[in-house]
């Protein structure tokens, strides 16, 4: 029995005393204890070593009154498990020596046995659950198939992912084959995470906003919905699409337990698009954590009042930035915890 189940109750649409709070990328780069580990171990070593991943996961829980933990990992462990050899290059980010650009390359990719290829993740879950000792729920996550494709085809990060989009538009059959292989791997991966003990899963469509609304319905949403449909009988599935406000109405018709929104949409518009029954999550601008703690507190209370206490999970509109002062991150979290209807 999880002692603080506020996050799970909110996901189920139950009446809560206040919205739950967690932060995307809360286990990571803004914390001095994380930076100390980063100086000793490279990025994927931290992801692939269960002892390190579990330690990083619980670090923010030791500091802040968060309502959920999210397993430290990366969306690129899925293509790595598929034999796509991503590295993390200094000052560049994700890097693939040989990007996926041909149908032959796509056909050669196999859907792996996740128990073997990603066993270190499931070990990290077990270690993390021991550390959490049923205090809060643990969230598992994966990238959306479209977002993974973007990195696989581009070979690195991009501001526009033009190469990835061109691949989809000029070789749609190859693109859909790759998307389906990523989808099948992701479903197996997230199911195994649930079996290992995570209480909910989140799908990050970080680059969905690169697509037009029409192309989103072809190259992203159908694959996310496959994942949601496969996972929803076993655990709540949350979908976060950055820049994807145009798809919120369609997403709200799915079996997703909640929809994350970024800071570019007004709470009132988001609510009008999804209706009163859908749980929303978000959408504080991560850069706003550079404001003073007093301003952060005021803005967080305004955000909650605009979304409404029910069917709402307080979060950032994207991952926390690396240069945010720890005390400002704490101000965000405590502002939610201390919120009352009178604020």
Task: Please state the residue numbers annotated as binding site.
Answer: 25-29, 44, 74, 151, 206, 318
The answer to whether 74 and 47 are in contact (CB under 8 A) is yes
From the candidates 67, 74, 184, 262, which is the catalytic residue? 74
Give which of 340, 276, 255, 309 is closest to 20, Cα–Cα.
309
Q: Is 74 a catalytic residue?
A: yes
Query: Which of these, 306, 332, 309, 316, lies nearest to 281 by C-alpha position?
Result: 316
3-state secondary structure (DSSP) of residue 39: coil
- Nearest in space to 7 (alpha carbons), one of 249, 198, 160: 198
Q: Name, in order, each residue with C-beta under 8 angstroms of 108's C-beta and a sequence gap of 6 or more.
A: none
CA distance 268 to 265: 8
The SS3 call for residue 159 is coil
Which residue shows structure tokens 């397993």? 71
| Catalytic residue list contains 151 | yes
Tokens for 172? 């749609």
* Tokens 């604020």 sit on residue: 343
Annotated catalytic residue 156: no
> Which residues carry a binding-site annotation for substrate?
25-29, 44, 74, 151, 206, 318
Closest CA to 30 of 69, 56, 55, 52: 56
Tell me, yes or no, if 285 is annotated catalytic.
no
Is-contact 248 274, C-beta < 8 A?
yes
Q: Which of 29, 63, 306, 334 is catalytic?
A: 29
DSSP code at position 20:
-
301's tokens = 């209370």
Selected catalytic residue, list 7, 151, 216, 223: 151
Residue 25 a catalytic site member: yes
Q: Is-contact 111 184, C-beta < 8 A?
A: yes
SS3 322: coil
**127/280 Cα distance (integer angstroms):** 30
CA atoms lying within 13 Å on the CB side of residue 207:
22
| 200 strand-pairing partners | 139
**Active centre residues (catalytic):** 25, 29, 38, 74, 151
């Amino acid at each position: 029995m999880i002692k603080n189940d506020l996050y799970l109750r909110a996901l189920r649409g139950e009446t809560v005393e206040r919205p739950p709070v967690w932060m995307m990328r809360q286990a990571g780069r803004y914390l001095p204890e994380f930076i100390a580990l980063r100086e000793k171990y490279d990025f994927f070593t931290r992801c692939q070593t269960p002892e390190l991943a579990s330690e990083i996961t619980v670090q923010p829980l030791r500091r802040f009154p968060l309502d959920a933990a999210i397993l430290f990992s990366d969306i690129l462990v899925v293509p790595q498990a598929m034999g796509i050899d991503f590295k993390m290059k200094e000052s560049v980010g994700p890097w693939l020596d040989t990007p996926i650009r041909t149908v032959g390359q796509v056909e050669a990719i196999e859907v792996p046995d996740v128990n073997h290829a990603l066993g270190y993740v499931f070990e990290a879950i077990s270690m993390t659950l021991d550390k959490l000792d049923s205090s809060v729920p643990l969230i598992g996550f994966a990238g959306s198939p479209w977002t993974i494709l973007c990195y696989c085809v581009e070979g690195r990060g991009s501001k526009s992912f033009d190469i990835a989009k061109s691949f989809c538009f000029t070789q749609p059959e190859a693109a859909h084959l790759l998307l389906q292989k990523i989808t099948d791997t992701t479903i197996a991966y997230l199911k195994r995470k649930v079996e290992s003990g995570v209480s909910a899963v989140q799908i990050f469509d970080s680059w969905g906003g690169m697509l037009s609304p029409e192309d989103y319905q072809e190259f992203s949403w159908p694959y996310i919905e496959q994942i949601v449909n496969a996972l929803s009988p076993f655990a709540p599935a949350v979908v976060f699409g950055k820049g994807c406000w145009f798809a919120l109405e369609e997403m709200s018709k799915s079996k997703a337990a909640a929809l994350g929104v970024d800071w570019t949409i007004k709470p009132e518009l988001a609510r009008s698009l999804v209706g009163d029954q859908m749980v929303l999550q978000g959408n504080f601008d991560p850069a706003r954590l550079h404001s003073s703690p007093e301003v952060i507190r005021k803005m967080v209370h305004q955000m909650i009042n605009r979304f409404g206490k029910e069917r709402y999970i307080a979060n950032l509109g994207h991952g926390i930035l690396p240069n945010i002062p720890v005390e400002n991150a704490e101000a965000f979290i405590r502002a939610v915890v201390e919120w009352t209807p009178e604020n």
